A = this chain, B = another copy of it.
């Protein structure tokens, strides 16, 4: 596959922004061979019909959203798109990961067929990661493939699922087991939608943003240190910058490793520790991003113990995570023993032949994927967090 290219046109805002004396729109182009698409990031973009128009080819649009998002934004998007005699329909799904199933997907197909959408229709995903994954998959399958537009409304989906083209649903026996690679026509990110995001979900998104700095972009990490207060205050201009830079980093990583054999695995920094926390505490009690936050702190601790990173860098990482209101340690209430935590880490699907494989740090902005570390060092890290003898 040809590499993903990206370009940036943030310096020159599109002409329509003169109507809105607010943060300029940044546009990033993610290109995968002959399938390139723009990500527009800005303030108040939900009714900027011109941004959507480039991704709509026919005269039919189906907005897919959920019961939490619909009351907030559906009417605005629908009104912006309903022009030139276009047929704009909507289907409102139940909200929650537990509804990310084939049965819910069928509701989308049912709505499309009931409203007689043909193969020139365009789907619009208005919501977080679950809505994005399901809408993208519905678009991949409806009449063997129709275009779709992503309008991610959570910080996590804005910096994660905007790039990569992964779509799908869960199966009772496993998460994301059924799906397709399907790239959107355009991604429209309106940072105003973050105003209504609950604080824990906002912080969970920040964990992934910090991750990009840690694995490959030390300047971005330093920028986050300088701007974390503004981010936590959800200032539009810094949000736009943080999201754009995160998407750009993800696009670079995915471009370098289309098939997840190498560099793409670095996106899992903190995820093996985090996976153990999420599983051990019961899914849904910790948000994924929260577990990744604690997991990154633990990966930093192990990296220091191995002599691969300076203690001062670990301290910077923990300080930044704390300013993002993220947990920096697993629960110490007796949920985990060292061996229990280790065995949860061992079921991670990245492991090969049962050996624990981790993304660790050589410094801020430099990571390695390795299973070559002294096992007693990992036990020492776990003992430091959980108590007990290593």
Contact = CB atoms under 8 A, between A and B. Distances in A.
A50 interface: no
Interface in A297-329: none
B177 A142 contact: yes
A102 to B, nearest CB: 6
Interface string A348-381: 0000000000000000000000000000000000
A173 interface: yes
Contact of A144 (B102, B114, B181): B181
A235 interface: no
A113 interface: yes
**Residue from A166, A173, A181 whose CB has the most chain B CB atoms within 10 Å:** A173
Given A102-B106, A106-B102, A180-B180, A113 B174 contact: yes
A383 interface: no
A321 B146 CA distance: 39
Chain A's interface size range is: 20 to 34
A168 B105 CA distance: 15
A144 B166 CA distance: 8
Interface string A82-116: 00000000000000000000100110011001100
A171 B140 CA distance: 16
A31 interface: no
A173 B114 contact: yes
